[in-house]
Amino acid sequence: MWGTAPRNLPKSRFVTYISNRVRQMRELISAKNLHKSFAELHAVKGVSLQVNAGEVVGFLGPNGAGKTTTMRMLTGFLDPSAGSVSLDGFSLADDPLAAQNTFGYLPEGAPAYPEMTVREYLQFIARARGIARREIAGKIADVAGRVHLRGVLDQVIETLSKGFKRRVGIAQAIIHDPPILIMDEPTDGLDPNQKHEVRELIRTMGSTKAIVLSTHILEEVEAVCTRAVVIAAGRVVFDGTPEEFELIAPASVTRNRMDYVFRQLTATAAEVAQ
């Protein structure tokens, strides 16, 4: 559980090492037995998910598997039909205000309020996040530097390219430096350079935060995630490291091993659901 501490560390570095490990083990997301029904459709069927600080979870599944619905329940944007969510120890149902302060959320698609400039939008979000007025300009400058938005702060959001719109979405999700980040397809529709940039940012933030990101791109999971969770037809069908995921493929499969495993896991679940 503790991993192995590097040998011969001086005492002061050993203390730092252990305190980092303890911080990483802090359970930040705890979702238990989440269900969601839309009229006749039982879209999410008992999803449980525990995520510690320091983990970057790739949330995978075919279209319609229930990823967005689950993420919306994790962030309180959608009430579960059953089950519960705690974020950094705060129950979403019992203590929603405290729970809402613990995370940033990048929803699918482009940011709301397309008629605002980037600066106006981030000011609006910062106020809604309870950041003190005197700190807002500094926070915006800081986040704009991190996601490379400085040159477009006074441009209207709807006139930005897709890549810049996504950066605005990421900026609003991290402006208050939350311990938890939930991102719905953060690299969808971006070009390879933009994808690389977003992945680097996620990797950097992943050492201290709990991050859940949905994606269709299996290489992305290998590149940035410490863990893969696969859902199919509303149920978790795999939860483990990317290495464990790949090892499900028999040795005879030599190319696109992750694709092979993904198809195997999700096809079986879809058949069972019929």
Ligand X SMILES: Nc1ncnc2c1ncn2[C@@H]1O[C@H](COP(=O)(O)OP(=O)(O)O)[C@@H](O)[C@H]1O
Binding site for Mg ion (CB under 5 A): 67-68
- For ligand X, the binding residues in 76-135 under the rule CB under 6 A are none
- From the list 55, 56, 69, 206, which residue makes contact with ligand X (rule: CB under 6 A)? 69
Say whether residue 38 binds ligand X (CB under 6 A): yes
Say whether residue 217 binds ligand X (CB under 6 A): no
Between 143 and 230, whose beta carbon lies closer to Mg ion? 230
Q: How many CA atoms lie within 13 A of 185 on its CB side?
A: 15
Say whether residue 273 binds ligand X (CB under 6 A): no
Q: Which of 224, 226, 182 is nearest to 204 (CA)?
A: 224
Say whether residue 270 binds ligand X (CB under 6 A): no
- From the list 54, 61, 178, 242, which residue makes contact with ligand X (rule: CB under 6 A)? 61
Between 92 and 140, whose beta carbon lies closer to ligand X? 92
Structure-block tokens of residue 205: 């933030």
Say whether residue 63 binds ligand X (CB under 6 A): yes
Q: Shortest approach of ligand X to residue 112 CB, angstroms?
A: 17
Say whether residue 58 binds ligand X (CB under 6 A): no
Say whether residue 41 binds ligand X (CB under 6 A): yes
Helices (H), the chain: 11-24, 67-74, 96-100, 118-128, 133-146, 162-174, 192-205, 218-224, 242-247, 257-273
The Cα–Cα gap between 169 and 190 comes to 13
Concatenated DSSP letters of 45-76: EEEEEEEETT-EEEEE--TTSSHHHHHHHHTT
Give the interface with ligand X as residue ranges (CB under 6 A). 38, 41, 43, 61, 63-69
